[in-house]
Amino acid sequence: MSSNYKEFKGIKFINTLKILGIEFNNKGETINNTQKVLENIKKSVAIWDGERLNIIERVVVSKTFLSSKLWYIINFITMSEENKGMIENMIHKFIWSNSMELIKRNTLILPYESGD
């Protein structure tokens, strides 16, 4: 992969390269990585939203199946505050079944021992 050449002495260079599921271009990571994570989380929310789960089960599902989509890729990419907010909103809406949040978000993310 080259940032200046498309071809050099018969060697053709590529524009993007995928390594262990992470897509890179000559400027670093690509925007496709973030979009892929957002789409995967949306799909998982759609699948699990149809299930009749109580709030504890929804928290477990969000930790296990929704957040796990993000954990691997976040080691390699940077994510904008806007995208972080979108993911947070998707997860909180899932936990509360798209209804009014009965517990403040800051309280909800506390460790179990710190809860009131």
Tell me if 24 is assigned to some domain: no
Tens digit of each residue's pLDDT (9 = 90 or more) over 37-83: 899 999 999 999 888 999 899 989 999 998 888 888 888 888 889 98
Looking at the domain assignment, is residue 48 inside a domain? Answer: yes
Q: What is the pLDDT of residue 57?
A: 93
Domain count, the chain: 1
Please check whether residue 110 lies inside any domain of the structure.
Answer: yes
The answer, yes or no, to whether residue 26 has pLDDT greater than 80, is no
In a domain, 59, yes or no: yes
Mean of the per-residue pLDDT values for the chain?
83
What's the domain range around 93? 30-114
- Beta carbons within 10 angstroms of residue 87's beta carbon: 19
Q: What per-residue confidence (pLDDT) applies to 75? A: 83
In a domain, 53, yes or no: yes
- Note the pLDDT of residue 47: 92
